[in-house]
């Protein structure tokens, strides 16, 4: 219930899309989504990386999603951690995206 309440408030537009992240037991994923148009503008994941979805993979995914976003002219995003705690892989992915040039 609490998770749904928090997620209702997070909404991405064409001016400021949503950076949604997901972490599974083995991998990490990131998408930049325009909720008004209902389209994914950019995505990155750790599926093709050898060492799975650890902290180093999360950093690489964060940098990759930032590069893709900036190449499409997106600099500011709304961060959606998907109900996951802001520690470990989630924090490292967000920090790497900030280092890559995204503002949230």
| Number of independent structural domains in the chain | 1
Provide the token pair at 75.
């600099």
How much is the pLDDT for 83? 86
| Residue 71 resides in a domain | yes
Give the residue carrying structure tokens 């008004």: 36
Write the CATH number for 25.
Answer: 3.30.420.100
How much is the pLDDT for 13? 72
How much is the pLDDT for 82? 86
| Residue 32 resides in a domain | yes
pLDDT at 94 over 70: yes
| Residue 74 resides in a domain | yes
Cα-Cα-Cα-Cα dihedral sign, residues 12, 68, 30, 60: negative
Tell me the pTM. 0.87
How much is the pLDDT for 24? 93
| Residue 7 resides in a domain | yes
- What are 7-33's pLDDT values in tens digits? 566 767 778 899 999 999 999 999 999
Domain span holding position 78: 2-99
| Residue 104 resides in a domain | no
- Mean pLDDT confidence for 24-50: 93
How far is the C-alpha of 63 from the C-alpha of 46, rounded, in Å?
Answer: 12
DSSP characters over 17-77: -EEEEEE-SS-EEEEEEETTTTEEEEEEESTT-TTTTSHHHHHHHHHHHHHHHHHTT--B-
Least confident of 9-13, 39-43, 58-62, 70-74: 9-13
């Amino acid at each position: 219930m609490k998770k749904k309440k928090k997620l209702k408030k997070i909404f991405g537009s064409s001016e400021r899309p949503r950076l949604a992240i997901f972490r599974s037991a083995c991998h990490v994923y990131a998408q930049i989504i325009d909720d008004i148009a209902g389209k994914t503008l950019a995505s990155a994941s750790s599926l093709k990386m050898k060492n799975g979805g650890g902290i180093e993979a999360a950093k690489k995914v964060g940098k990759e999603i930032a590069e893709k976003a900036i190449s499409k002219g997106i600099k500011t995003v709304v961060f959606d951690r998907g109900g996951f705690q802001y520690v470990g892989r989630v924090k490292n992915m967000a920090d790497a995206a900030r280092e890559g040039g995204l503002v949230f």
